[in-house]
Amino acid sequence: MIKVSGLSFEYVDKKALNNISFTIEQGSITALVGPNGAGKTTLLRCLAALQKPLTGNISVNDIDVIEDPRKAHLNIGYLSDFFGLYDDMNVNDSLLYIACSRNPDVDNAVKAVEWVIEKVNLESFCDKEISKLSRGMRQRVGIAQAIIHQPKVLLLDEPASGLDPEARYALSSLLVGLNKTGMTMLVSSHILAELEDYCTDMLVLNNGSIVEQQVMQHKQEGIVTMQILLDEIPEFLLAKLHVITAIKHIEVRDNQILIKLNEFETGRKKLLQYILELGIQPNEYGEYKVNMQDEYIRTINSIKNQEV
């Protein structure tokens, strides 16, 4: 759905994005994480065709964003970290204006407002002035504005910042709900624990470069990641595991083996039985739940170690 290649962007004394390339699959929710100043906002703005990069190509839903930004805008919804709302208007009027500026047919715009109000649960706030809404509700209005034209891709820059736990939970539910309608999302956030609940992929950006892209939750049914903890990993075990067709990928980290397993072909119990039959007694065996916080810290630390 989103394809980026060789993307670079520069400010006077800083390379904000340094020749980055990645692909985001349709229907995924990708967490865009990285330290402050890593280039997350610049990347999102380039993807939203709001800033032109120095070099590189971006395509969203097979539309060249750099060559045809107007067409790309029809497929993209973007919410900045400040939401950007017309404070002195009421919710309904503000959404009607945004809908009309996205869709010249006023009748369709009215329908779009009705649809989006229901989608983001703003029914009881339609006549309220935006300035009088709580931060959580303001954010809902912001999301409503971003999706009013039913884009294929939704880009959210720090949507959860400043929200209380209840509002964050509501946001997660809302994003999962939107994702179910087929919307692909790229969400930048500092609150990794909350991203973990709904993100399927993680993109780590550091110093303007993509340092890791990882699948957090397998969308493919039956695929699980199994973890085996051992005191020492014997060479022959890896060789034996590699020949099992149900095992799609093996990753070794110190004394830990991570196995991407297709459970439809071989169940997890059967795999354990096979390992035991090989005379190996694991210290721990079970499904590996990817912890975004841990993965992020691990990635950032490994970069720091490389730099040292």
Contact residues toward another protein (CB under 8 A) are: 9-15, 18, 48-50, 52, 54-55, 69-70, 73-74, 76, 78, 80, 82-89, 93, 96-98, 100-104, 106, 109, 145, 207-208
Is the Cβ–Cβ distance between 113 and 166 less than 8 Å?
no
Q: Which is nearer to another protein, 15 or 270 (CB)?
A: 15
156 or 192: whose CB is closer to another protein?
Answer: 156
Residues 6+ apart with CB under 8 A from 157: 40, 41, 44, 78, 79, 80, 81, 188
**Residue closer to another protein, measured from CB, 66 or 250:** 66
Helix/strand/coil for 20: strand
Q: How far is the CB of 90 from another protein (least distance, A)?
A: 10
- In the complex, the smallest distance separating the C-beta of residue 82 from another protein, rounded to whole angstroms, is 4
| Smallest distance, another protein to C-beta of residue 114, A | 15
Query: Minimum distance between the CB of residue 240 and another protein, rounded to whole angstroms?
Result: 47
Q: Which is nearer to another protein, 49 or 216 (CB)?
A: 49
From the number of C-beta atoms within 10 Å of its C-beta (0-12, 13-18, 19+), residue 11 rates as: exposed
User: Is 127 or 235 the residue whose CB approaches another protein more closely?
Assistant: 127
Shortest distance, CB of residue 177 to another protein, whole angstroms? 23
Token couple for 133: 């809404």
- Cα–Cα distance measured from residue 229 to residue 241, given in angstroms and rounded to the nearest whole number: 15
Q: How far is the CB of 154 from another protein (least distance, A)?
A: 12
* Secondary element (H or E) of residue 236: helix 235-242
- Taking the complex as a whole, the smallest distance from the CB of residue 125 to another protein amounts, in Å, to 17
Nearer to another protein, 93 or 197 (CB): 93
Would you state the structure tokens that stand for residue 278, as one six-digit string? Answer: 């090989």
The least CB distance from residue 4 to another protein, in Å, is 17
Give the nearer residue to another protein in terms of CB position, either 16 or 275: 16
How many CA atoms, within 13 angstroms, populate the side-chain half-sphere of residue 300? 16
How many Å apart are CA 123 and CA 120, to the nearest integer?
Answer: 8
- Partners of residue 11 on adjacent β-strands: 14
Element (H, E) at 254: none
Between 31 and 44, name the residue whose CB sits nearer to another protein: 44
Reference 149, options 180, 122, 183; nearest CA is: 183
Neighbour count for residue 160 (Cβ, 10 Å): 20
Residues 273, 280: Cα–Cα separation, whole Å: 10
Cβ pair 283, 256 in contact under 8 A: no
